[in-house]
Amino acid sequence: MNQLKHTDGFKRYYTLDYFYKHKFHSKVFKVSLNGGFSCPNLDGTVGTGGCIYCSKLGSGEFAGNKKDDILKQFNEIKEKMHQKWKEAKYIGYFQARTNTYAPLAELKEKYELILKQPNVVGLSIATRPDSITEECLNYLEELATRTYLTVELGLQTIHESTSKLINRCHTLECFSNMVQELRKRNINVVVHIINGLPYETKEMMVETVQYLNQFDIQGIKIHMLSVLKNTPLETYYQIKPFHILTKDEYIDIVCTQLEYLNPNIVVNRITGDPKKEELITPNWLVKKFVVINDIDKEFIKRDTYQGIYYQEKK
């Protein structure tokens, strides 16, 4: 079928499900949590207003209710997930906003509480590259010796003009430095990127993936830009409408990105997953599994796979 070693069935890219099954010999699902953290791009530390696409839930639409304590969130979401998967292990996923942006004592309290729960095999911590202190890095280094730890860094794009437009408020150098700091400590890194950002071409989006190949990262999350209600992006889109990728355009771009991606990088996510009631556009995003299936079909049509055009730098 193809030359990709990290696959079973018909998938032509290295899926997170495949990785978990081979690492933990069990079904593993993430339990999405809202730790009640803020963001330096909201409180004026590095900026105000946040990234223009970010919802009021801070990318935590499927996380728990921040009004509830972490343990209550964990148990409620875990039980919902068990309705689909009866036997599974868990990874606590601190998802909403910037999950290293708090005093170390608060971080420790919340992280360690989840790690104490039965069948928790690891933590995933979503954050920004400008929001991990040296003190926090040292703690994460120690934590990574005790559990399967992943730090998820938002990059979104390597292109400075886009980064300014979406109000990221950190530099590419900041991102690069933090990836290297995390890897020096043997901490797993997953990078988030967004396709369909205003005025970016297919070539620009592919360049973002090719840039990531220079780093020893363990995973990537590929999102499609969604215009959500009550965000700065909604206002921008109303004033200056820009092209929103069609489903076919998105599938073409993702397949091309993966063809150039290091085949040892795990694809943690391959499409967006917005709440229907919050979504303005694109409507095709609500049919998540249609998009995933169409990506599979496109790879078969091309007869290609993740990493076919990847060239390791000497």
Give the separation between CA 257 and CA 202, rounded to whole angstroms. Answer: 9
CATH architecture of 16-302: Alpha-Beta Barrel (3.20)
**Prior bond to 241 cis, omega within 30?**
no
pTM for the predicted model, two decimal places: 0.95
The 3-state DSSP class for residue 28 equals strand
Q: How confident is the model at residue 246 (pLDDT cuts 50, 70, 90)?
A: very high
Give the contacts of 208 (CB within 8 A, at least 6 positions apart).
155, 157, 158, 159, 193, 257
Tell me how long the chain is.
314
Lowest-pLDDT choice from 1-10, 29-38, 109-118, 127-136: 1-10
Q: What is the pLDDT of residue 59?
A: 57
Q: How confident is the model at residue 1 (pLDDT cuts 50, 70, 90)?
A: very low
- Listed by start position, the domains of the chain span 16-302
Is 3 a residue whose pLDDT tops 80?
no
Chain-centre distance of CA 90, in angstroms? 17
DSSP letter at 145? Answer: T
